Amino acid sequence: MRALVIEHDPMCPAGTVGDRLVQRGFDLTRLTVVPAERRERPDVECAFPGAAGWDLIVTLGAPWSVDDEAAIGSWIGGELALLREAHRAGTPVLGVCFGGQALATALGGGVERAPRIELGWSEIETEEPSLVAPGPWFEYHTDRWAVPPGAVEVARNDIGSQAFRIGRSLGVQFHPEVTLPIVETWLEYGAKQGVVADGLLDRTKGMLAAAERRAHALVDGFLDHVALSRPMGSRPVRSVPAESRAGRMQA
């Protein structure tokens, strides 16, 4: 099975989520939208592929806002078009943070500034704990989405919606993919932007083992109970045992 993984920035990789997809039998093809040297000028050109031929699309986080086209440029339009095409074709999408906001926007919701930055490990209220556990999950975002029409809100907190599902797709506002190197990179980058996170890295070191188990359960629940649902005219993702074969990363 083939999964397209959209990494908007090299410091926002698939991490634990990518590892679990490989364990579930997916071959991952990574598309890096903005190279590291263009992080401060992310208005690059990027040609997104069509949805055909992919069994799954994963769209990950980014240090920018989905609706800030003046900063990020026209590539966001190409990504939104891909996500709409995937939804129409019944291709499952897993959207994480910025990726979840992009999925919401593509399907008629939207994105706006949150009342405050959300940074750190947080519990959430969930309607479907077998799909999205209450956490704690790692959060790092300044925006929030409006749930798209026809979607089911799965989880939320006092900042806003934290997860929704629509068709065969799932958007989550938190970061199930985090590893220690990812968090270290984000906090280092955030410190340069004036973001204070005293003690968060030390706390993270004690959280990651349990967080990895939750992330694996999230990926499994998504694949088994959301991505495998079959709207009319769509084809299901084939279920593969968790340890069936090794996948490979493709540039």
Q: Please name the residue that has the structure tokens 């926007």.
A: 105
**Annotated active-site residue in 7, 8, 12, 97:** 97
12 part of the active site: no
**Annotated active-site residue in 7, 177, 212, 216:** 177
Structure tokens at 130: 């077998």
**Among 80, 119, 223, 78, which residue's Cα sits nearest to residue 165?**
223
Neighbours of 45 (CB within 10 A): 9
46 part of the active site: no
**Annotated active-site residue in 12, 175, 212, 216:** 175
Give Cα separations from 159 to 79, 116, 122, 155 (angstroms): 26, 8, 11, 11
Q: Residue 138: which region, alpha, beta or left (left: phi > 0; alpha: psi -120 to 50)?
A: beta
128 part of the active site: no
Structure tokens at 235: 């084809």
Residues forming a β-bridge with 166: 169
**Among 66, 70, 217, which residue's Cα sits nearest to residue 148?**
66
> SS3 for 21?
helix
Structure tokens at 154: 């799965």
Point out the residues that are catalytic: 97, 175, 177
